[in-house]
Chain A
């Protein structure tokens, strides 16, 4: 399995990673190598199984609808990159 440069660019956009032109060839080569490894999956006969998402088939536990958290805004915002008037501050979003 090889992967095209444009595909890498699309993946980078989806994952919000900027990949510069210098490294894209290397990234492409290494990803292709990993994808050749995972392509071995295609040889498996999986007609007998449905798929497994997690080790156990337990049920989700449900929590009572009780307020257990009080405001910790100060301690959380103390470690935020940028805040203004109690809001997390980010470069302007275009609507």
Chain B
């Protein structure tokens, strides 16, 4: 049952081949049996899940239930869940039980999906390896000594290990696509503003975007149908009709123009990864797509711009964690300043503190123009690169990350080595474009991801190309040994 895709599970539920309660029990059993070796799930909500599944079965019996009704999923622990701890991977929120739901969570409740629990993540989504979580690192199901990627490493690993058929995730600089690539699954970061940020704990507000993770592009389309909505509680939510992302999956891709940015195939790219990606592109060419050589000349500036803008926004977003209203407060503060400083020093991990300091530096008097001001300008250059490219191509493709999953601790001492992990993914966040990663091969027995970038609100086009690729390949069907 756990090897079925969401599309297959929906079929079974609608045909009453199995019930949502049976399905939910099955995945809960897998989590309790297997999660310990991956540490992908940090909160299991068995009781609520079974109650929701029973309700979903009633809705299914009544007929006309939404597609997601009865399908069990996991939520990244960055989404607030009413009555269920929402930690954001941090000691700061280890005791935080919000009295409200994120809009994304509400949307799935509306459609009858069943929440199995919450997934592990890098603390406040700051990391590319899941090593910064207060709850310990997540292990990559393909190689237990390797990272799953981050920050949505828990969601990615859980799907790869068949602990859930799908999960929610968020992407600020690559946090959906990079772990999807490293864990051999599919993950989509939609256009900025497509999915509501209400109730999603903010890292960098102008970059954060929630999206789905599953094993196939079709499943991502099904999940996005529930996730995407206009939300008047989020001022940056875009009031634009949500199409049915499944409707165009089977369109032929003959004549599709695919831009191949030469900057994404330069030094630093693992030769095995390069080979796998090129093979995938050849497959699409074989289906009638046209490959177009393009340039994104400001690409090399995306990581520096990101590491000004994201920490700057984060430094302000994380000021609310001060020990006054909720969350962690240090023991026996001797005065107000001591309470602030120790609460934040004890409550935040090292990487989070580092980014707060960098953000504070970039915004401080005398440095603002040189860093924050300059980064905003570079951000515009990056957006213009894409605007130019999309004049002549429909989609842009390349590797998701420079190399396959790396060993724990291997990028330990220098934060910059870790930051370069997102070198191909960050630009789309800066521009606000949608991007996806799908499995396209293996290197050293570890998965490789193909990145597909679309123009604004072209999620359907991305999913269509991804689905057509998956119709003629079986990389997405591979399962790590420990998950069988």
Contact = CB atoms under 8 A, between A and B. Distances in A.
A51 B341 contact: no
B357 A31 contact: yes
Contact of B307 (A37, A61, A75): A37
Contacts of B456: 55
Contacts of A35: 358, 361
A82 B329 contact: yes
Contacts of A67: none
Interface string A46-85: 1011111111101011010000000010011001111000
B301 A44 contact: yes
Given A27-B354, A37-B303, A54 B432 contact: yes
Contact of A15 (B238, B303, B356, B373): B356
A94 B337 CA distance: 10
Nearest to A10: B364
B257 interface: no
B136 interface: no
A6 interface: no
B336 A90 contact: yes
Interface string A1-12: 001000110011
B415 A52 contact: no
A38 B308 contact: yes
Contacts of A25: none
Chain A interface: which size bin?
A: 35 or more
A55 B386 CA distance: 12
A21 to B, nearest CB: 13
Contact of B377 (A18, A46, A58): A46
A33 to B, nearest CB: 5
A42 B373 CA distance: 11
B238 A34 contact: no
Contacts of B339: 90-91
Contact of A38 (B304, B328, B384, B431): B304
Contacts of A53: 206, 376
Given A3-B361, A35-B361, A44-B298, A72 B416 contact: no
Mostly, the B contact residues are helix
A75 B100 CA distance: 10
Contacts of A31: 354, 357-358, 361
Given A44-B381, A51-B373, A34 B415 contact: yes
Given A35-B361, A61-B232, A40 B432 contact: no
A15 B235 contact: no
A34 B326 contact: no
A18 B341 contact: yes
Contacts of A42: 370, 374
A71 B102 CA distance: 20
Contact of B235 (A17, A50, A61, A94): A61
Contact of B358 (A34, A51, A60): A34
Nearest to A16: B340
A55 B357 contact: no
Contacts of A36: 416
B238 A56 contact: yes
B380 A49 contact: yes
A92 B333 CA distance: 10
A27 B356 CA distance: 12
B391 interface: no
B307 A44 contact: no
Given A18-B345, A30-B415, A51 B356 contact: no
B351 to A, nearest CB: 10
Interface in B354-385: 354, 356-358, 360-362, 364, 370-371, 373-381, 383-384
Contacts of B340: 16
Contacts of B357: 8, 11-12, 15, 17, 27, 31
Given A44-B301, A58-B193, A82-B329, 8 more contacts: A11-B361, A12-B341, A31-B358, A34-B358, A37-B416, A39-B304, A54-B206, A54-B236
Interface of B: 95-99, 191-193, 206, 232, 235-236, 238-239, 298, 300-301, 303-305, 307-308, 315, 319, 322-329, 333-342, 344-345, 348, 353-354, 356-358, 360-362, 364, 370-371, 373-381, 383-384, 414-416, 419, 431-433, 456
8 contacts: A15-B315, A16-B344, A31-B354, A49-B377, A51-B373, A53-B206, A61-B232, A81-B329
Enumerate the 10 nearest inter-chain pairs by beta-carbon distance, A residue then B residue, closest first: A55-B432, A51-B376, A46-B377, A81-B329, A52-B380, A18-B341, A16-B340, A49-B380, A75-B99, A40-B304
